[in-house]
Amino acid sequence: MTNEETKAREILMSVYEARRDHDRISPTWLATEVMQKLDPLRTSHPIEYAMANLQFRQLARSILAARLERAEPGHVDQHPLFPNLQAHYPSAVLSASDEPEYIRLELMTDEDVSFNVERLRKEAASKLKHADALEAWAANRKKAA
């Protein structure tokens, strides 16, 4: 990772840390705030500005997914009474820009809960199939040896 990439990630992480307790968190919002910090007067060429904003949105998506969904236990914001629950989950409804928003657990609608239960079960089923396939491959390898 280059020095510039490291600095960009640090700026985005600082914006995320300042917003992590908000009821809703969006990659678009984080990227826009970073762009306002980097180019408050929007003096960049419009194409450069747009491309940088898109790159920050992509980076924000990966950070939010890692922090709010896929982090290892102890690294993800968790509910104090139900430690297996996250503090935020993806909303069932995409934002106006068709991007995921993460909503605080306590504010989730029944639709948000159903969406996430189905999503998590699909992920679990996919991982089980992968584990079964790997196990079968290993058994076949032993037979062939």
Task: Give the mean pLDDT per block of 10 residues along the chain (145 residues).
Answer: 89 93 92 94 94 94 82 56 82 77 93 95 95 95 85
Number of domains in the chain: 2
pLDDT confidence of residue 41: 95
Q: What is the DSSP letter of 80?
A: S
Evaluate whether 25 touches 68 at the Cβ level (below 8 Å): yes
Same domain, 19 and 43: yes
Q: How far is CA 84 from the centre of its chain?
A: 17
Which residue type occupies 40?
Answer: P
Same domain, 99 and 120: no
Q: How far apart are CA 77 and CA 80, in angstroms?
A: 9
Token pair for residue 20?
């992590």
Q: How far apart are CA 61 and CA 119, in angstroms?
A: 17
User: Domain range holding 133?
Assistant: 109-145
Q: What's the residue count for the chain?
A: 145
The answer to whether the pTM exceeds 0.75 is no
